[in-house]
Structure formats: structure tokens, C-alpha cells
Structure 1
Amino acid sequence: MTLIKGIVFDKDGTLFDFQATWGAWSREMILAESGGDPAMVARLADSLGYDMGTGRFRPDSVVIASTVETVAERILDVLPELDKDALIARMNARAAEAPQVEVPRLREALERLAGMGISLGIATNDTEAPARAHLQAAGVEEMFGFIAGYDSGHGGKPGPGQLLAFAEAAGLRPGACAMVGDSLHDLAAARTAGMVGVGVLTGVAGRATLEPAADVVLGSIAELPDWIAAQG
């Protein structure tokens, strides 16, 4: 395998635990947008693949890997009277303030990778402003030389645009880079961009789902520095 010189990370489910971060947030969003009406709450939760009882997402939830716009469209299927632009604005504002639950040893892993001379970037289907807010709150924004949301001009995943823009910004061939993420969208983007695809299990998808699409599946990014070192 080619020595990896650049890594572009997904954000939710990769740097931050997906269920722990977005479970409570999504419950409050569903209650707010539905006005607390029990029938609407149930319909909206089901449409988004969310269990109001457990506060967790189903593996097939549209929320897991989609853009804010796609999630908003799913909400509008249930609540068509809402204004789409206003809904997206509310979702982005709430998302920017959502407390992020970091995966274990987040900063340690990033510092080790940077110490290995590896360029680091972010490619998320979140919008860029909330993504930067989350990274800043975690104290790691400055560790990434490239940060792109789906609204940053490179498209969203599973398209390869964000990944190729990262490689160009880092001055690297795509083949010398890896995409690290928790979803099939991430791994499909890696494949199309010609990058190594690394799956992690800190999202909703399990090993059996990710392995057929990945070059390797790790428990979390904490295992990434040792895995990369072993490739050399």
C-alpha cells in the first residue's frame, strides 16, 4: 500500500461519537419542528430513522450521512408547511451549538498523525460554519489545513469533490491520501477519488456493513497512527 501522506476525515461519527452527540439534539429538533404534537413527532421520528424512546438512530437513518438540505427535505415531506430556507437556517443554528462528544483520544491521535508529517483535512456533509464551530469547541480546528462542508464549493459525499480538493490543497496525489469515515458515503467517496478508504466504528454502521467497501476498518481513529506506521 502506498505510504499515506495525507488524511481527510469525516466529522460526525469519526471525530465525534455520532449517537452520543446527535441523539439528544435530534430529539429536541423533532419536538420543536413538530410543535410537540404526538402524532407528528412519531411520523417525523420515523421518517428520520430516529427512535424517540432510546434517543438513537437506526442504521438506515437518512441523517447519518446526508447533507442538511437532504435532511430538511425529509422533514418537509412530513411538515410541508415549513419554509425550507428558514428550516435549514434553524437546523444550522442549532447544530452549531450542539455539544460534541469527542471520540476517545481525539487530540492524541491527531497530534501523533501531525507529528508523522501527515497533512490533515476535513470533508463533511455538514455545512462548513457549524463544522468549524464544533472543531473549534474541541480545540482541534487549527490542526486541519483544509476544512470543507457540503456548501464549500466542492459538493458533498459520496461525490469525490471535497477529497480531491483536499489533495490539491495539500499538494498530494489522491493515491497518497486516505479518507477516514464511518459511513458508506465516506468510503464510496474514497474509492471514486482514488484514495485509501478507512472505516471506523464510532458511527452507526457496523463492521459487516463497512468492511466490503473499506481497505481497513478500525475501532476508532485512536488506532489510526499505529495502523499507518505499520504500512511503512
Structure 2
Amino acid sequence: MVAEDNRVLAAPSNIAGILFDKDGTLLDFDASWAPVNRKLAQIAAVGDAELADRLLAACGMDPLSGHLVPDSLLAAGNSREIGEGLIAAGAPFDLEVLVPLIDDLFASAAELSVPVTELEPLFARLRRRGLRIGIASSDNERSIRVTVQRFGIGDYVDFVAGYDSGHGSKPGPGMVLGFCAETGLAPHQVAVVGDNNHDLHMGRNAGVGLKVAVLSGTGSRQSLEEACDILLNDITELEAVLD
């Protein structure tokens, strides 16, 4: 973790691959997702403003402040889990109708997302270190690929997994194991970087060598520090850990 004087403790020397979460890790969560979550609630409420506010609150977002509860459905859930939560809170939809609407909204939102930092130079530097790179998100795979293309990082990304890619969902180990199968790495050679406990617990369940938490998303120092090995403000500090 980050020491009290902000020194960054060193990463294990055998790390050969990094598996990034997307939202809140590579992308600024509030800038990218607050308006999307509000639109989602409007869709699920069929235009009923009062119901939309109730749906947001039930899924973890304060409808007034926009604050997200760490590890809540809107902070860490996949489209199906979010759909189930919306319906349980009163959205008048069948799940099989609502989930495609959520996936379509999230994919279109990827075109408007805001990165935490310039991603292409960062990924290029990580590749020059010889690192294999993957992205594992609770979002759908289509949205991740739109993000990869939009920010010009396709040449550096070896693996992409969403909740619908066949590797299971977080916090299960499947996305990490899929990354390992794609790259030939063992789990202990992998670092997982994410902004909530679904990411960190995925890493733990897969036996990764390093679990890195970032404070650029929905998690807080209090909610993250128990499950991580290193706690950073955001991914701009990651290279110092690797050094």
C-alpha cells in the first residue's frame, strides 16, 4: 500500500502482465457514468421521474448528489445484475427485455467516456517493459472494445473480457484465468488493477501476484485497503510501483 508519507511500496519483481478494470480505473467514473446512470434510470422507469430516483437509490446512487455507494450495483454490477436490481426496485420490465437496453446504452456511452489519463502513451510504456495487458470489466465486451478503439490502445491490449465473454463475472476468477490462458502467464505473474472490491476479490480468488486498488473510481480508502496489496490515487502512479 501507499505509505503514510506517500512513498509507493515496490511490486513483486515477477509481474509480467496487468489486468485492468475499465470504469473507475482506466476511465473517470463520475465524468463518464453519472449521466449514463441517470439516463438508465429514466429508461427503466419509462419516464417516471419519481420512480427513476427510487431506482437510482436502490442500485446505489444518490439521485441528488450522484454519490455512489462503494461496491453497489451501479458501482460494480454487470448489466444483468443491474437489471435484476432495477426490476426488484419497481422497473416495469422483463429481465430479458431490459438487459439488452442496458447493454446498448452502455455501449453508446463508451463513445463519451473520459479517461483518467492519456491511455495510449501509458499503455505504450507498459508494453515497452514487456508487460502483457488485458482489460476485464463488468460491462459488456462490446463496450470495452469501443473504448479500446476510441483511445487507440488496441495494439497493446492482449485480452478483453466483459461479463458476457464466457469467463464468468467478477469476483469469480474466470477473467484472470482467461487472461492467463491467452498470454501464457501464471496467475502469480499477474497484477490486477481496479477501483472496487469485485476487482480485488477476483484477483484474490485467482491467486494473482499483486492486487492494486485505485481511488479514481467508486471505492474509498476504507473500503479498499483491506483487500489490496497496494493502494494508489490512480493509474498514473502505477509505473512508480513497477519501478
Q: Provide the TM-score with structure 2 as the length reference.
A: 0.89
Letter of the 2:120 partner, please give it.
R
Query: Deviation string for 1:128-152 (max 9, x for gaps)?
Result: 1111112212222332111011111
Which residue in the other structure is 2:216 paired with?
A: 202
Which residue in the other structure is 2:227 paired with?
A: 213
Letter of the 1:216 partner, please give it.
I
Whether 1:38 aligns to 2:52 is: no
Which residue in the other structure is 2:103 paired with?
A: 92
Whether 1:159 aligns to 2:175 is: no
Work out which of the residue numbers 110, 114, 136 in structure 1 matches 2:149: 136
Query: How many Å apart are 1:117 and its aligned residue?
Result: 0.4
Distance 2:22 2:60 in 1: 20
**Contact 1:120–1:143 at 8 Å: present in 2 too?**
yes
Query: How many Å apart are 1:80 and its aligned residue?
Result: 5.1
Q: Provide the TM-score with structure 1 as the length reference.
A: 0.93
The range that moved more, 91-100 or 48-57, is 48-57
Letter of the 1:68 partner, please give it.
S
| Pairs aligned (count) | 229
Whether 1:176 aligns to 2:189 is: yes
Query: How many Å apart are 1:71 and its aligned residue?
Result: 0.2
| Gapped regions of structure 1 (runs ≥ 5) | none
**Contact 2:70–2:223 at 8 Å: present in 1 too?**
no
Work out which of the residue numbers 20, 24, 27 in structure 2 matches 1:16: 27
Query: Deviation string for 1:60-110 (max 9, x for gaps)?
Result: 531111111000000111235312122111111111111111002322221
**Contact 2:136–2:160 at 8 Å: present in 1 too?**
yes
CA RMSD of aligned residues (A): 1.5
Which residue in the other structure is 1:148 paired with?
A: 161
Work out which of the residue numbers 105, 111, 115 in structure 2 matches 1:102: 115
Letter of the 1:225 partner, please give it.
E
Quick one: percent identity of the two aligned structures? Answer: 38
Distance 2:34 2:187 in 1: 34
SS at match of 1:104: coil
Letter of the 1:211 partner, please give it.
E
| Gapped regions of structure 2 (runs ≥ 5) | 1-11
Query: How many Å apart are 1:205 and its aligned residue?
Result: 0.8
